[in-house]
Amino acid sequence: MRVKKAIFPVGGLGTRFLPATKALPKEMLPVVDKPLIQYAVEEASAAGITEFIFVTGRNKTAIEDHFDHSTELESVLTAKGKHDALKLVQEMMREPGSVSYVRQQEPAGLGHAVWCARNLVGDEPVAILLADDLIKGPSALQEMISAYEGGNMVAVMDVDPSETAAYGIITAGKDDGRQIEVKDVIEKPAPDKAPSNLAVVGRYIIEPQLFEQLGTQDEGAGGEIQLTDSLAARIGKAPFTAMRFSGTRFDCGSKLGFLQANIAFALDRADLSDDLRQWLKDADLG
């Protein structure tokens, strides 16, 4: 089923990365030389998404600027004959009118952020990408869209059983190794309460009916309006599937995951990999 719109919730405060995120949106933190949000947008584009909806907040204007022309920069690069850099900043531009912004006026949770985009989505399924979850390899969203036949879908991966309190955790039904029927999902259960160690990673496709559910504004874990709770409430009314994606996910909401992502992505870059690999071998880091 065709999915052409995607929501990018980018209103979070990024407190785990202070002081870096005091004035800089956390989604603008770079992995090597590209902001996290650009990776998410590129993954969505690779999956055929043509309409990009950002749910922003105060202090997030750097994201809007990033996806707009920088006329001064472009004229300097042109004048100096820096064609590669010019191509880089021009090629990342989206078609005029394909990017919209709506503000989440208060940090009331992921479910609330998604609900804020309802009028821009209308009556069709929509993808959601959390830029903190950086996925290296084939577009996870593309894998999901190829298999999507309606209802709700989440990406999942196995996590260490000690880490369940950081994720939405599913109860699995029928499992063909790639797609799993979701019988239940709960937000951030303690390890002794977790039904499995299959954790939701920040990629979703939701049916339009989910917005009505989100509109009830029921608070869940952490006093926030949770997307997970609305997904759970739709079980039995709409199909709910989890997808094991084939890429590698980095938790760029954590410092360790962010550092690991930088190393993994740099090792894949022709201009950096040899020197970095050599340095990692030679340096007495331990």
Q: Which of 6, 28, 53, 110 binds ligand G1P (CB under 6 A)?
A: 110
Q: Which of 200, 232, 252, 266 binds ligand G1P (CB under 6 A)?
A: 200
* 168 lines the binding site for ligand G1P (CB under 6 A): yes
* 187 lines the binding site for ligand G1P (CB under 6 A): yes
- Spell out where the chain has E strands: 5-9, 30-31, 34-35, 51-56, 99-103, 126-129, 133-136, 152-158, 168-175, 179-187, 198-206, 240-244, 248-251
Q: Candidates 13-21, 128-136, 210-218, 261-269: pick the segment binding ligand G1P (CB under 6 A).
A: 128-136
> CB nearest ligand G1P: which residue?
168
Q: Which of 253, 261, 265, 266 binds ligand G1P (CB under 6 A)?
A: 253
* 202 lines the binding site for ligand G1P (CB under 6 A): yes
For 142, the enclosing helix (H) or strand (E) is helix 140-147
* 228 lines the binding site for ligand G1P (CB under 6 A): yes
Measured in whole angstroms, how far is the alpha carbon of residue 113 from the centre of its chain? 13
Angle at 185 between CA 205 and CA 257, to 5 degrees: 75
Q: Which of 37, 180, 199, 266 binds ligand G1P (CB under 6 A)?
A: 199
Closer to ligand G1P by CB, 56 or 77: give it: 56
Binding residues for ligand G1P, rule: CB under 6 A, are 110, 130, 132-133, 167-168, 187, 199-202, 226-228, 253
